[in-house]
Amino acid sequence: MSSSKNPNHQEGSVNGPRIGALLRQAWQRVRERIYRGVLQDGYADLNPAHVSLFRYEGLDGRRPTQLAESMQITKQSVNDLLRYLEHRGYLKSRPDLRDKRARLVHLTSRGKRLDAAVRAHAAAAERELAAELGQESFREFYSILSRISGSH
């Protein structure tokens, strides 16, 4: 990207955070908002890493290896998080009938309630951003993020 397209970038120097840092900070803000909401809903037995499993694409019916790939964390880390959630009654791990070596995650009724809460708080975070930015700016922001992510 040329420096003329980024008003905060001058050749050879940076006057402010790079786009990656800004995207990460925005993501962390939304993630923190979701986690606060989940805590307020009474899910005090979870930490942000547990809640982050309940994100877009969901985890119901997916393999732990798929979750690890999409979250860009180790399979061991995902399995540790899933084991904790299973012990707390949020999910069950069952054999994949198509591949007996693999296991699939299935949400329990408690897990489905948590999933709904996470999605409700994600929507609330979006509404709060829209109110802060204004509807038109928010729609433009969403459209640009969709193009960047390849979802558009």
Q: Which residues pair with 10 in a beta bridge?
A: 13
Q: What is the DSSP string of 100-145?
A: EEEEEEEE-HHHHHHHHHHHHHHHHHHHHHHHHH-HHHHHHHHHHH
Which residues have CB under 8 Å from 16's CB, separation 6+?
8
pLDDT at 13 over 90: no
The answer to pTM > 0.95 is no
Q: What is the pLDDT of residue 1?
A: 44
Name the nearest CA neighbour of 144 among 8, 23, 1: 23
pLDDT at 2 over 80: no
Q: What is the pLDDT of residue 3?
A: 45
- Highest mean pLDDT, choosing among 9-13, 55-59, 122-126: 122-126
d(CA 107, CA 93): 9
- Using an 8 Å Cβ cutoff, are 53 and 82 in contact? yes
Each domain of the chain, given as residue ranges in start order, spans: 19-149
Low-confidence winner among 21-30, 43-52, 56-65, 113-122 (lowest mean pLDDT): 56-65
- One of 3.40.50.2300, 3.30.420.40, 1.10.10.10, 3.30.1330.40 is the CATH number of 19-149, namely 1.10.10.10
